[in-house]
Amino acid sequence: MTEHTALTDNDGADSLTEEQRFPRTEPARLVTIRSLSARTKGPVRIMCIVVDSRLGTALVQDIYDEVGKARQIKVSVEGLLEVAQRYMLIGDITEKSAPNGNELMLAVSLVFNINSLNLEEYKQALELEQKVSHTLSR
pLDDT per residue over 10-42, tens digit each?
555 555 667 777 777 778 999 999 999 999 998
**Banded model confidence at residue 100, pLDDT cuts 50, 70, 90:** confident
Domains delineated in the chain: 29-136 (2.40.50.140)
pLDDT at 73: 96
How far apart (Å, rounded) are the C-alpha atoms in residues 14 and 88?
A: 51
Given the DSSP bridges, would you call strands 101-113 and 86-98 parallel, antiparallel or unpaired? antiparallel
Q: Looking at 2-16, 49-63, 86-100, which range is the least confident one?
A: 2-16
pLDDT at 19: 73
Instruction: Please say whether the dihedral angle defined by the alpha carbons of residues 44, 87, 96 and 34, taken in this order, is positive or negative.
Output: negative
pLDDT at 46: 96
pLDDT at 50: 97
How far apart (Å, rounded) are the C-alpha atoms in residues 17 and 36?
A: 44
Q: What is the H or E stretch that residue 16 is in?
A: strand 14-20
Alpha-helix runs per DSSP H in 38-113 = none
pLDDT per residue over 50-62, tens digit each?
999 999 999 999 9
Global pTM value: 0.76
Mean pLDDT, residues 115-119 taken together = 93
**Separate counts of helices (H) and strands (E) for the chain:** 1, 8
pLDDT at 97: 81
